[in-house]
Amino acid sequence: MPEEKENSKEEIEVFPFIEGNIIDLVAQNSKWAELICKWRNDPKVRQYSRNAWPRSLDDVKKRFETVPDRHTRDSVGFIMYHKRDKRPIGDIGLNRIDWVSRHANIFAMIGEPEYWGKGIVGEAAQLVLKYAFTELNLHKVRAGVFTPNERSLRAAEKLGLNKEAVTKEAIYVDGKYHDIHKWGLTKKEWLEKNKTV
């Protein structure tokens, strides 16, 4: 394990795009492709993340081959970079961006389980919400969480998202159908909650 930790340690220069306290949000970098591949395939990490298909290193690397067009891109992802430990620990961002209705889905994955349960996603998601509403001018951010992912349900609640609906038996994971809890927050609601921002 120490060897693995050593390998995942940051060796490249990091340019934060959004600065936080515990983590910075940094542009995804092809030099982290192996690490991202490890996170996507890790059974413990991918369990509730809709990752039912194995992801090869080539698949991950393909993402870095084309630069997304700024007018048509439908997702934006960041690496969560742990400032004190100087290492990338997961990724977070917005996908399924709809530029007409101006909404998007927020996703998050801490790929290094030793960093779970430390409130890190709370900080990272707040930064992404601020980015979504004050830089991308989105109208609404959504999230979908499966019933057994109690950690994620709690994180959505702590973040101040509103629970809007539950779709029954909507996802098949580990041999069972599970409900999907749909959460949402409009820019107006976010501004109300963050009057000092």
What residue ranges bind ligand COA (CB under 6 A)? 45, 48-49, 90, 108-110, 116-122, 145, 149-152, 154-155, 158
Report d(CA 63, CA 38) in Å as an integer.
15
Which of residues 164 and 191 has its CB atom nearest to ligand COA in the complex? 164
Please state the closest distance from residue 70 (CB atom) to ligand COA, in A: 27
User: Contact at 8 Å (CB) between 111 and 42?
Assistant: yes
Please state the closest distance from residue 130 (CB atom) to ligand COA, in A: 17
Which of residues 97 and 121 has its CB atom nearest to ligand COA in the complex? 121
How many CA within 13 A on the CB side of residue 120?
A: 26
Closest of 139, 123, 44 to residue 78, by C-alpha? 123
Please state the closest distance from residue 155 (CB atom) to ligand COA, in A: 4
The 8-class DSSP code of residue 114 comes to: G
Q: Copy the structure tokens of residue 166.
A: 């539950």
Which of residues 154 and 188 has its CB atom nearest to ligand COA in the complex? 154
